[in-house]
A and B are shown apart, each in its own frame.
Chain A
């Protein structure tokens, strides 16, 4: 079965701390994505990657960075967490579609981050 695993379901951090959110997929997918989800705003794309060591900014990359050293792993980094980064973070992966488009995204369970 297809699986996207996020390392932590719940985290509580303090303002200014460095935060790592890890995501691993076991489907050999090329594309991986990080979204954040907030009430009334839906999912907003932070960063995505279509290959190892490649990354592209999404709609809201400020305050975040990412790392993709291996195909199966995509990490989201908050260099200095702030209270406005309290949110649900969702990782997803998809196959590169020959016909174009991102194809079906497979999502992890989400990581709920609270920054105090």
Chain B
């Protein structure tokens, strides 16, 4: 969706390096969801952010929602081959019951 822009589109990092993926909305975000997808499979939920300034972590992945609630970043520390996949952000922009998704970021981790 052009309402939700992800950057970069793709990323290749050396194992052990840190990386950041950004998700920028053209509208206020009432909820921001991060998902990971292995090629050809369904999406796995990573985490959800709702409040401006909120930050959540799971293992080596940290996500933040900025104060103005229009941008989120996903940061991976000390990347591993298991982190490889497609990362998608999904947003609730209308305080409704559907999500709009970004185009995704393809992450490859070189050993």
Once the chains bind, are B31 and A90 in contact (CB under 8 Å)?
Answer: no
For B106, give the chain A residue with the smallest CB separation. Answer: A39
Report chain B residues within 8 Å CB of A108: 42
Q: How many A-B residue pairs have CB under 8 A?
A: 74
Q: Give CA–CA (A98, B38) in the complex, Å.
A: 31
A25 interface residue per 8 A CB criterion = no
Q: Give residues of chain B (21-47) contacting chain A, Cβ–Cβ below 8 Å.
A: 30-31, 33, 35, 40-45
Given contacts A31-B97, A44-B1, A45-B98, contact A104 B45 (CB under 8 A): yes
Q: Give residues of chain B (81-105) contacting chain A, Cβ–Cβ below 8 Å.
A: 88, 90, 92, 95-104
Per-residue contact bits, chain A 37-72, to B (CB 8 Å; 1 contact, 0 not): 000111111001010000010110000000000000
Q: Give CA–CA (A102, B18) in the complex, Å.
A: 31
**CB-based closest 8 A-B pairs:** A107-B42, A42-B103, A43-B101, A107-B43, A101-B92, A101-B31, A102-B97, A109-B42
Residue pairs across A and B with Cβ atoms less than 8 A apart, 14 shown, are: A33-B99, A41-B103, A42-B102, A59-B1, A90-B43, A92-B43, A96-B97, A97-B97, A101-B31, A101-B95, A101-B96, A102-B92, A107-B35, A110-B41
A residues lining the B interface (CB < 8 Å): 4, 31, 33, 35, 40-45, 48, 50, 56, 58-59, 88, 90, 92, 94, 96-97, 100-102, 104-110, 112
Contacts A42-B1, A90-B42, A96-B97 given; 6 further ones with Cβ under 8 A?
Answer: A33-B98, A45-B99, A100-B95, A104-B33, A106-B45, A108-B42
